[in-house]
Structure 1
Amino acid sequence: MQFSLWLALVGAGAMISLTPGAGAINTMSNALTSGFRRSFWGILGQQVALVIHVIVVAAGVGIIVSSSPFLFLLIRYVGAAYLVYLGIRKLLAKAETADAGDVPAAVEHGFSMFRRGLWVNLLNPKAIVFFLAFMPQFIRPSEPLLAQYVILTATVVVIDIIVMWFVFAAGAKQLKHLTTSERGQLILNRIFGILFIGVGVALALA
């Protein structure tokens, strides 16, 4: 991949990652409830889903999904339902008494955050359609394909990790003071619950 083309990929990847969505909401929520460092588990799950999307598109399965109304709608509505489910869980969540420090008293298991991050990104059919339109812009059929896909995937994943962790998770620290009181925690739960439900409804209706 030419350096100029790679720079264009970096710019496009940064703009995509900086666009708020379910992944950003999930990352901020994890950072507030489990701490900045542990929020990386959820980010890692989101990246695994991203890699799977790239593989699906590269293998040609993405064309089948995007061209099949039934499969597309099935994934779309399952993904929307999952986001609404996460939102309802947030709305019903009770406040936890937190200790002093970066990590609250009740810490969610890392695998649980990883799994949620995986499904949040994986159950988004628009990601498949997006990569179908996005990837060909940076892939040259006349050059070795495997190396190009590896560079593209690694670049997009690294950029998304940086943005999720150092922009959205770090940005959530500005709201950290609200987690020190039960009222503040309930307010945050309501905010993120509504955001999850809103994104889920938008995914279902878009």
Structure 2
Amino acid sequence: MQLSLWLALAGAGVLISFTPGAGAINTMNNSLTSGFRRSIWGILGQQAALIVHIIVVALGVGVLVAGSPVLFNVIRYAGAAYLVYLGIRLILQKPGSQRDPTMPVTREPARSMFRRGFWVNLLNPKALVFFLAFMPQFIRPEQPLLPQYLVLTVTVVLIDVVVMWFFFAVAAKSFQRFTNTARGQLILNRTFGVLFVTVALLLALVH
């Protein structure tokens, strides 16, 4: 891949990663509830789903999903339902007692954080449609395809990891003081719960 083309890809990747969405909300919530360092597990789960999206599009399956309203809507509503579930669970979650501000509120297992991040990103069919429009701009069919897809995947994943971890996860730390009290935890839980539900509604209703 030519340097100029890669720079364009990197620039587009940065813009995509900074676009707020369910992944960003999930990352910030993980950072607040489990700590900045451990939030990486949710981010890695999101990247695993992103890689699946890229593979699906590269294999041509994404065209079938985008071209089938029924299949597209099944995935779309499943994704929206999962986000609503996450949102309601946060809204109904009872806050813990007052804690040491230097310690995270919970110690959710890394596997659980990874799994949730994976499903949050995977159950978004619009990501498939986006990559269908995005990827051809940076792939030259007359050149070997595998190296190009590898460069694209590594570039997009690394950029998203950096943005999620060092922007959204760090940004969440500014709200860390709220987790020191039961009332603050309740406010944050309900705030992020509402955000998850809002993103779910946008996913389900906006075409």
TM range, smaller chain: over 0.9
Q: Secondary structure at the match of 2:102?
A: coil
- Structure-to-structure mapping, 1:140-179, within 5 angstroms: 140-179=140-179
| CA RMSD, 1 decimal | 0.7
State TM-score, norm by structure 2: 0.98
Identity of aligned residues (%): 67
Query: 1:33 & 1:152 partners in 2: Cα distance?
Result: 32
Per the alignment, residue 117 of structure 2 pairs with: 117
Query: 2:100 & 2:139 partners in 1: Cα distance?
Result: 50
State TM-score, norm by structure 1: 0.98
Q: Secondary structure at the match of 1:39?
A: helix
Gaps of 5+ in 1: none
C-alpha offsets along residues 73-116 of structure 1, whole Å, 9 cap, x if unaligned? Answer: 00000000000000000000111233342423x31111000000
Per the alignment, residue 34 of structure 1 pairs with: 34
Cα contact 2:101–2:177 (8 A) shared by 1: no
**Aligned: 1:46 with 2:28:** no
Per the alignment, residue 100 of structure 2 pairs with: 99
Query: 1:47 & 1:186 partners in 2: Cα distance?
Result: 29
Task: Kindly provide the amino acid, as one letter, of the partner of residue 88 in structure 1.
Answer: I
Cα offset, 1:179, TM superposition: 0.3
Cα contact 2:57–2:63 (8 A) shared by 1: yes
Query: 1:42 & 1:178 partners in 2: Cα distance?
Result: 21
Cα contact 1:36–1:102 (8 A) shared by 2: no
Task: Kindly provide the amino acid, as one letter, of the partner of residue 190 in structure 2.
Answer: R
Query: 2:143 & 2:171 partners in 1: Cα distance?
Result: 40
Query: 2:78 & 2:101 partners in 1: Cα distance?
Result: 38
Runs of 4+, deviation exceeding 2 Å: 97-100
Cα contact 1:57–1:132 (8 A) shared by 2: yes
Query: 1:163 & 1:130 partners in 2: Cα distance?
Result: 19
Query: 2:116 & 2:56 partners in 1: Cα distance?
Result: 20
Task: Kindly provide the amino acid, as one letter, of the partner of residue 42 in structure 2.
Answer: G
Cα offset, 1:11, TM superposition: 0.3
Query: 2:202 & 2:109 partners in 1: Cα distance?
Result: 29
- Structure-to-structure mapping, 1:83-94, within 5 angstroms: 83-94=83-94
Query: 2:178 & 2:110 partners in 1: Cα distance?
Result: 23
Per the alignment, residue 17 of structure 1 pairs with: 17
